Structure 1
Amino acid sequence: LIVALATNGTLIDATVARKIKESGVRRVSISFDGADAETHDIFRGRGAFDKSIAGMNYLHEIGVPYQINTTVARHNVHQMEQTLALAKDLEAQALHLFLLVPVGCGVEIADDQQISATEYEGVLNWMYDAEMEGGIELKATCAPHYFRIARQRQAEERRQGIFRERPASHHRQQHAGGNGHPGGHPGGHPGNGRPGGHPGNEEARQAMNAMTKGCLAGTGVCFVSHRGEVFPCGYLPVEAGNIRRQPFREIWEDSALFTELRDSSLLGGKCGLCEFKNVCGGCRARAYGMTMEYMGEEPFCTYEPMVMRRAGDAPINLHLSESTN
């Protein structure tokens, strides 16, 4: 198992950094809610920003890789450039951007901090351009729309005769999946860079599809609680089974919930009509948090599927999943 550590970094000193290294932790993620002390400390408390940076410096001195995790919200959406610069200045391995999911503690801050779908679109387009510049690994979490945006941008560049070499981090983003580990842990699913498995091997095909699409909940990742409950991801509180009652493999391969999440034909609303549903699929946790329908449409997506644009004002019967929790 690849072990990673998610922390705010404020308690990391030379001794703690050494223990982290000796424990075999492969990478540490440190959360930043802003690119400066004024913004970050509003959420984390006075002095937290400087303590987090000090913690990263201790990790740097002892040779433990680290990354910055930032949840994009109303108070910091204007700081993306500064946050990227901060990550580079601190020699972080990566900058992972998280789109807010209104479940758990996210419900409490969503009213004040949730940015609009249009703003999300802007952030992900900015990220595409920033990723093309290279210099640091960039990754969007709980933002499956990025896979649609990347393909749209690449297609437009080809039409315009623009050909630019994509950095290694871009290929990792494309082939490692957009969610990585649920709950903000650093890392992601390895991929071999190929778009699909052997045509005669359904299991291999599904595995590769899981690694090259946007939302990985129940398809490429899952979350096991301290009580043994198995969830599609750390943000989707719908139980697929419990490892105290049945083998994990049985839950992973045969649970009705995971089977449903792996079938894009069951997606509801415009996600079900979208030509990008097999590379994006919308955030299932965000759909559940906003509508209580985990197969419902992604509520923070501005894209209008081609079939809807062609239909114009003609009525369309949007399939709504009958799934329940």
Structure 2
Amino acid sequence: MTAPTTTDPAPDGRVRRPVRTPRHDPADRPLLVIWEATRACALACVHCRAEAAPGRDPRELDTAEATRLMEQVAEFGRPAPIFVITGGDCFERADLAELVRRGRALGLPVAVSPSGTARLTREALVVLREAGVTSLSLSVDGADAATHDGFRRVPHTFARTMAGWRTARELGLKVQINTTVARHDVEQLPDIAALVHREGAMTWSGFMLVPTGRGADLGPLTAAEVEDVLNLFYDLGQVVPVKTTEGHHFRRVALQRTVLERRGADHVAVLGLGPLYERLRARSIELGLLGAAERRRRPPISVSSANGFVFVSHTGTVHPSGFLPVPAGNVRTAPLTEIYRTSKLFRALRDPARLQGRCGACEYATICGGSRSRAYGATGDLFAEEPWCAYRPGKLPYAVDVEALLRSA
């Protein structure tokens, strides 16, 4: 049987691919620059990467230093990277609106990622919209207040987040919803998806937990359960614009499912999906989420640590990811453009030949590569195999089809 075409035409005539790649060389220019403006936060979330604290750190970049950072981001060229101001809680910075205005004046798309605290008010969101914020992301880590607030360890966080979400939508802001995928909420993922579908969001991002910060103490999913979750996310792409954070093998799943759909193969049998997938899928059907496609699937984009993505801490240290606590330099002593493009750490992470174990042998290495943050958190080795991936290289049938899709991606 001949291999299928590598791409399918969409109804509007545009070519549709199962995985997107950045339009510009991600080794030269990041798609996303995340700046941890502060670690101060009123919440005490059980998974917190930043190990947030009530008070601000006196070593934080001040307004002038933050402005210089944004100038360095603008120096990457056009189109400018998306500049995301996060925390802790970015609303703990009194200069937040001024920083947004300065970033916009430099031509940067500026997004914010606040916490669901008492500071997340209509008035605060109106100020940010007027300052020029293009979008914001909010975290929903349970389908109900009991689950979410238990995870965030502060009462009323769910209600405040929902109110902020609805207000942002009313104000015309784009909203991304982030959900930490962990033992406490994995069975609720279909219900959270239904919430996203009902309330509306630009993107729903499933964050596959990395064992760093306070998150190191949470019980992880098994690799087989992660496969089940990623395949559920693929299914839910019919109705919600789903993506993953630190779940790079979602791109491998998207290619595999595309091949199997074109071959008319049973993905549950071929991929060996387990009981968690069956339960999550059944609940999704019960909620009316699966069936006739309502929207075009949003293909995942091939961006990862140091390869289209860079994180700058509250003190100016530069990391491939906020979940990978290995520094490559500091913006107080070297330009971000130089660190991103030329540091030994970043250059090494862009080289798939450095990958070890199953990741090194995997046919999907160039579009996946596994979470380097999770590999490092679990083993202390940046290039170790992804511990949350159950795939065995070469296991999927239809190797010719896979090769063709990899070339297109």
**TM-score, with normalisation over the residues of structure 2?**
0.60
Equivalent of 1:291 in 379, 389, 392: 379
Equivalent of 1:52 in 161, 168, 174: 161
> Contact conserved, 1:147 with 1:280, CA < 8 A, in 2?
yes
Distance across 2 between alignment mates of 1:157 and 1:308: 13
- Structure 2: which amino acid aligns with 1:299? P
Distance across 1 between alignment mates of 2:388 and 2:338: 33
Deviations 1:75-120 (A, max 9, x none): 1000111001111222222211100000122213x2x3x2111111
Determine the structure 2 residue equivalent to 1:156. Answer: 260
5 Å matches for 1:93-242? 93-108=202-217, 110=218, 112=219, 114-131=220-237, 133-134=238-239, 136-160=240-264, 167-171=295-299, 173=300, 177=301, 212=302, 216-242=304-330
Q: 1:106 is paired with a residue of what secondary structure?
A: helix
- Structure 2: which amino acid aligns with 1:221? F
Distance across 2 between alignment mates of 1:166 and 1:291: 42
Q: 2:298 is paired with a residue of what secondary structure?
A: helix
Q: 1:222 is paired with a residue of what secondary structure?
A: strand
1:240–1:308: structure 2 CA closer, same or farther, 3 Å change rule?
A: farther
- Structure 2: which amino acid aligns with 1:240? A
Q: 2:365 is paired with a residue of what secondary structure?
A: coil
Equivalent of 1:92 in 183, 201, 218: 201
Determine the structure 2 residue equivalent to 1:16. Answer: 124
Task: Report the Cα offset of residue 308 of structure 1.
Answer: 12
Q: Does 1:83 align with 2:211?
A: no
Task: Report the Cα offset of residue 167 of structure 1.
Answer: 4.5
Give the fraction of aligned pairs with identical amino acids, expressed as a percent: 41
Unmatched tracts of structure 1, length 5 or more? 178-211, 310-325
> Contact conserved, 1:10 with 1:55, CA < 8 A, in 2?
no
- Pick the structure with more helix per residue: 1
1:308–1:51: structure 2 CA closer, same or farther, 3 Å change rule?
A: closer
Query: Which structure has the higher relative contact order (CA within 8 Å, separation 6+)?
Result: 2
1:297–1:46: structure 2 CA closer, same or farther, 3 Å change rule?
A: same
Distance across 2 between alignment mates of 1:156 and 1:308: 9
> Contact conserved, 1:273 with 1:307, CA < 8 A, in 2?
no
Q: 1:150 is paired with a residue of what secondary structure?
A: helix
Q: 1:221 is paired with a residue of what secondary structure?
A: strand
Distance across 1 between alignment mates of 2:131 and 2:317: 27
> Contact conserved, 2:318 with 2:327, CA < 8 A, in 1?
yes
Determine the structure 1 residue equivalent to 2:175. Answer: 66
Distance across 1 between alignment mates of 2:332 and 2:246: 29
> Contact conserved, 1:100 with 1:142, CA < 8 A, in 2?
yes
Equivalent of 1:26 in 134, 139, 146: 134
1:123–1:240: structure 2 CA closer, same or farther, 3 Å change rule?
A: same
The number of residue pairs the alignment matches comes to 263
> Contact conserved, 1:10 with 1:48, CA < 8 A, in 2?
yes
Q: 2:309 is paired with a residue of what secondary structure?
A: coil
Equivalent of 1:260 in 310, 334, 348: 348
Determine the structure 2 residue equivalent to 1:303. Answer: 391
Deviations 1:164-214 (A, max 9, x none): 98954523x2xxx3xxxxxxxxxxxxxxxxxxxxxxxxxxxxxxxxxx35x
**TM-score, with normalisation over the residues of structure 1?**
0.75
Distance across 1 between alignment mates of 2:265 and 2:231: 19
Distance across 1 between alignment mates of 2:294 and 2:160: 35
Q: 1:66 is paired with a residue of what secondary structure?
A: strand
Deviates more, 1:274-283 or 1:240-249: 240-249
Distance across 2 between alignment mates of 1:271 and 1:296: 8
Distance across 1 between alignment mates of 2:140 and 2:121: 18
Task: Report the Cα offset of residue 56 of structure 1.
Answer: 1.8
Q: 2:206 is paired with a residue of what secondary structure?
A: strand
Unmatched tracts of structure 2, length 5 or more? 1-107, 267-291, 398-409
Task: Report the Cα offset of residue 293 of structure 1.
Answer: 0.3
Distance across 2 between alignment mates of 1:307 and 1:93: 34
1:10–1:246: structure 2 CA closer, same or farther, 3 Å change rule?
A: closer
> Contact conserved, 2:210 with 2:374, CA < 8 A, in 1?
yes
Distance across 1 between alignment mates of 2:169 and 2:395: 51
Task: Report the Cα offset of residue 243 of structure 1.
Answer: 2.6
